[in-house]
């Protein structure tokens, strides 16, 4: 199993705690260490992915959606957002633009720090 560093946006932390709890977030991180490219790439997102996650026995269709970016070259995963399936099916264009800007900023910070492997 590969190991990756994780960065979580404030939005992700706040929403994940309310939606799933800290233990489940740890499970998600372990899963992403094994399968970092498992989430479907969101069209026109520059590589942002959406992973379906089952929430307390409701199955994947009734669970949560984890929005993340996998920076393979840096060995890092950015957890951007999480929401319940019944909250929305897809991200709005405005939300996607904001997430792309967050990824661009994050990648710039990684490049400046020299963390690229």
Report d(CA 107, CA 28) in Å as an integer.
Answer: 22
Give Cβ neighbours of residue 95 (< 8 Å, ≥ 6 apart).
Answer: 81
Q: What is the pTM of this model?
A: 0.88
Give Cβ neighbours of residue 44 (< 8 Å, ≥ 6 apart).
Answer: 96
**pLDDT tens by residue, 13-72:** 999 988 888 888 999 999 999 999 999 999 999 999 999 998 666 555 558 999 999 998
Q: Report the number of distinct structural domains present in the chain.
A: 1
User: Which pLDDT score is estimated for 14?
Assistant: 92
Give Cβ neighbours of residue 76 (< 8 Å, ≥ 6 apart).
Answer: 4, 5, 6, 7, 110, 115
Q: Which of 25, 24, 22, 31 is nearest to 4 (CA)?
A: 31
- Domain containing 69 equals 5-113
**pLDDT tens by residue, 71-91:** 987 889 999 999 998 888 788
CATH number of the domain bearing residue 102: 3.30.2310.20
């Amino acid at each position: 199993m590969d190991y990756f560093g994780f960065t979580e946006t404030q939005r992700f932390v706040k929403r994940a705690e309310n939606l799933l709890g800290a233990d489940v977030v740890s499970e998600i991180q372990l899963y992403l260490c094994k399968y970092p490219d498992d989430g479907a790439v969101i069209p026109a997102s520059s590589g942002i992915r959406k992973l379906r996650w089952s929430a307390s026995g409701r199955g994947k269709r009734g669970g949560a959606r984890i929005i993340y970016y996998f920076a393979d070259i840096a060995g890092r995963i950015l957890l951007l957002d999480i929401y319940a399936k019944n909250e929305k099916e897809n991200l709005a264009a405005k939300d996607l633009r904001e997430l792309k800007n967050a990824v661009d900023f994050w990648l710039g910070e990684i490049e400046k720090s020299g963390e690229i492997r």
